[in-house]
Amino acid sequence: MQKIFLDFRAAKTIGQLHDILASALGFPDYYGKNLDALYDMLTDLGTDTCIDVYGTEQTDIPCTYLHRLVQVLNSAEKDNPCLHVVFRVGSEKTIQKG
């Protein structure tokens, strides 16, 4: 299983957040850098992948966008049996999904 750690603490803009996603997940240059494109890329993953997400509480990204991001990650996980997503607060505690 491929393990990917996404640390959003350095993201100051939505564009930077998508740059982190694209880099960590190895998305191609044509990745659209929006939530619809993210969903498409995640549901196309064919390799067992665990994405460990943290730092969302320590970023300047608007809470409404982060909430939508969590929804997209949860939806992609539900729709792709190869994908598992874990959300963490800081680096220690797992938070509830949804």
For residue 16, pLDDT over 70 is answered with yes
Q: Considering the entire predicted model, what is its pTM?
A: 0.85
Overall average pLDDT of the 39-58 stretch:
92
For residue 91, pLDDT over 50 is answered with no
* pLDDT at 97 (0 to 100): 46
Distant-in-sequence, close-in-space partners of 16: CB < 8 Å, separation ≥ 6? 10
CATH, residue 12: 3.30.370.10
The tally of domains found in the chain comes to 1
Residue positions counted in the chain? 98
* pLDDT at 10 (0 to 100): 87
Contact by Cβ (8 Å): 86, 50: yes
* pLDDT at 21 (0 to 100): 95
Structural domain for 73, as ranges = 2-94
